[in-house]
């Protein structure tokens, strides 16, 4: 909408973008936060409740990294088809943003 100045509800690109923002990008944002804050969350007595969020085990959070990657793959493919190699710019910036957490 910011670039197209309108919403085309019949566009598959709109729906794919909406789904991407809601699920795979949400997994990146919240999943990376959970991976990064594992020690702080473990010491936080409020974590592990409905109100303050889940408390993942180390095995779950290790698997979460690859679930995040798996969720990105179809959208990488779709964006490359729709907009070309410029799509790699977005995913490159996203990778740079999460790399410190990913390797840490």
Distance (Å, rounded) from C-alpha 12 to C-alpha 68? 22
In a domain, 41, yes or no: yes
In a domain, 17, yes or no: yes
The percentage of the chain sitting over the pLDDT mark of 70, rounded to a whole number, equals 91
Q: Show the beta-strand stretches assigned E in 1-99.
A: none
Report yes or no: 55 and 47 within 8 Å, Cβ to Cβ. Answer: yes
In a domain, 95, yes or no: yes
- pLDDT of 19 reads 92
For 40-70, write each residue's pLDDT tens digit.
Answer: 888 888 888 878 777 888 888 889 889 999 9
Task: Print the domain residue range for 66.
Answer: 12-103
In a domain, 47, yes or no: yes
In a domain, 1, yes or no: no
In a domain, 20, yes or no: yes
The percentage of the chain sitting over the pLDDT mark of 90, rounded to a whole number, equals 24
In a domain, 58, yes or no: yes
In a domain, 3, yes or no: no
The number of folded domains in the chain is 1
């Amino acid at each position: 909408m910011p670039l197209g100045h309108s919403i085309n509800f019949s566009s598959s690109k709109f729906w794919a973008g909406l789904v991407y923002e809601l699920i795979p990008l949400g997994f990146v944002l919240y999943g990376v936060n959970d991976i990064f804050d594992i020690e702080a969350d473990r010491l936080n007595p409020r974590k592990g409740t409905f109100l303050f969020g889940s408390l993942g085990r180390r095995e779950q959070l290790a698997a979460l990294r690859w679930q995040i990657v798996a969720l990105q793959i179809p959208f990488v493919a779709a964006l490359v088809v729709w907009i070309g190699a410029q799509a790699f710019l977005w995913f490159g910036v996203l990778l740079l943003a999460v790399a410190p957490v990913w390797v840490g």
